[in-house]
Amino acid sequence: MESATGTICLPDLGDVGEVVVVEWLKELGDSVTEGEDLVEVETEKTAFVVSAPTNGRLRAIAARPGERLRVGEVLGEIE
Amino acid sequence: MLNLQRMLRDRRSAGSIGDLVITVEHDPVFTIGRRGSRSNLLVTREALEQEGLRIFEIERGGDITYHGPGQLVVYPVIDLRDYGRDLHGYVERLEEAAIQTLATFGIGGRRMPGFPGVWVDRRKIASVGVHVRRWITLHGLALNVNVDPRYFAMIRPCGLSVEATSISGIVGEPVGLDAVAERFLTQAEFVFGWRLVPVDRDEMERGCDDGEA
């Protein structure tokens, strides 16, 4: 796996179990800046927007709307 | 109100203001979360329009819900990085403040595993819908004090076949919203470790160009 800093992981949200991806707010190939809204996920009780960890371009989307994942798992890649 | 919340959320994110809590009583309105389904609105658009009711799609967790007179709506705008980045812990504390408020009326509220909100027996008395962006909270909790049950009959709240109830319905007499707000904020202070100081609304709204959403 390449640059770990470009990996978009689901951050630690506390004890939330599985989250489901609701909507990507950027498209593949879009340039993103650090801290920018990237993808919205929903836990059992809340909605949470994951921010871009670095500047770059959205290179890969690993989890699509409707898919479920856990804290620490990979949502996508920025290069 | 939505614009005011977002404006405050952005200023909180920028660090130009500290944590704050807004309490509101809305005009009648239905709101539906991103993943909510319009099939949970049980009346037609025409019927809504006839009654002068609006429905807004908004960015929060949860499905469809009703806000209106007789309901205390609480919107904390806080930075969860100061609260352990614990999303569900935040929701649970909001629910706890509601449960403790109900207890002061002799009402036993409880959570239902798998669903946010507070129930009394099998009827829902408080709904919760929270959205977190850059760790700042948006939306919050709505507690039924004196709500006209007619409106709840128009929806399947949060997609569930659930009856709604209010504090005054259980207590058997009208209860003032302001009294409940005061109790709720006191309980919230305990639960969150806050010390709340009133702020002038005009002061808050300065910088928000178009007022109400």
Find the range with the poorest average confidence among A2-6, A32-36, B56-60, B191-195.
Answer: A2-6
pLDDT recorded at residue A57? 96
Q: Which amino acid is at B7?
A: M
pLDDT at B212: 34
**Of the residues B21, B97, B158, B180, which is catalytic?**
B158
Q: For chain A, which residues make up each domain, given as ranges?
A: 4-69
Domains by residue range for chain B, with CATH: 2-194 (3.30.930.10)
Query: CB-based contact (8 Å) between B81 and chain A?
Result: no
CA B161 vs. chain centroid, Å, equals 20
pLDDT band at B61 (very low <50, low <70, confident <90, very high): low
Lowest mean pLDDT among A16-20, A58-62, B42-46: B42-46
Per-residue pLDDT, A16: 92
Query: Best mutation site among B35, B93, B95 for testing chain A: the one with the most A CBs within 10 Å?
Result: B35
What pLDDT does B16 receive? Answer: 78
Q: Do B114 and A44 make contact, defined as CB atoms within 8 angstroms?
A: yes
Residue A2 has pLDDT above 70, yes or no: no
B158 is catalytic: yes
User: Is pLDDT above 90 for B210?
Assistant: no
Q: Is residue B183 over pLDDT 90?
A: yes
Residue B5 scores a pLDDT above 90? no
Span B49-55, mean pLDDT? 84
pLDDT at site B207? 52
DSSP-based helix, strand, coil % in chain B, nearest 5: 35, 25, 35
Question: What is the count of residue pairs from A and B with beta carbons less than 8 Å apart?
Answer: 67
* pLDDT tens digit sequence for B100-130: 999 999 999 999 988 889 999 989 999 998 9
Q: CB–CB of A42 and B85 under 8 A?
A: no
**Which position has the higher pLDDT, B131 or B46?**
B131
Q: What is the pLDDT of residues B134-155, one digit of tens each?
A: 999 998 999 999 998 888 888 8
CATH 2.40.50.100 corresponds to the domain A4-69: yes
Q: When comparing pLDDT for B40 and B165, which is higher?
A: B165
The reported pLDDT for the residue numbered B209 is: 40
Q: What's the whole-number average pLDDT of chain B?
A: 86
| Cα dihedral: A14, B110, B77, B88 (round 10) | 10
Contacts of A20 (CB under 8 A, 6+ apart): A41, A42, A66, A67, A68
Mean pLDDT of A41-61: 94
CA B151 to chain centre: 16
